[in-house]
Amino acid sequence: MPLTKPNQELRRDLKEAASALKWSGVDLFTFAKKLLTAGDEDGANQLMEIALRFQGVEDKLEGYAEEVKAGRVTRTKE
């Protein structure tokens, strides 16, 4: 069964948010490497922890998007 327009938008928004988190995490890891090279191990570790949390939320959002696609989660129009 094809997705309704509101569900298509919900799925797209979830995937877009997941993508933004993914690339933000990549940027944080890149900056963490620079901090590590500069000798700031504590700062680098803190950024890597944040990036890993981003990855966890990204995975959840991707899962929700798949639930929308499968019809297990729906959006109602108000």
The ranges assigned to domains in the chain are: 26-70
Confidence of residue 76 (pLDDT cuts 50, 70, 90): confident
Reply yes or no on whether the pLDDT at 74 is more than 70: yes
DSSP 8-state symbol, 2: P
Q: Is the distance from CB of 58 to CB of 22 less than 8 angstroms? A: yes
CB 44 within 8 A of CB 32: yes
> For residue 77, is pLDDT > 90?
no
pTM above 0.85, yes or no: yes
**Model pLDDT for residues 13-66, shown as the tens digit of each residue:** 999 999 999 999 999 999 999 999 999 999 999 999 999 999 999 999 999 999
What does the buried/exposed string (b/e) look like for 38-56 if buried means 16 or more CB atoms within 10 Å of the residue's CB? eeeeeebeebbeebeebbe
Per-residue confidence at 78, pLDDT binned at 50, 70, 90?
Answer: low
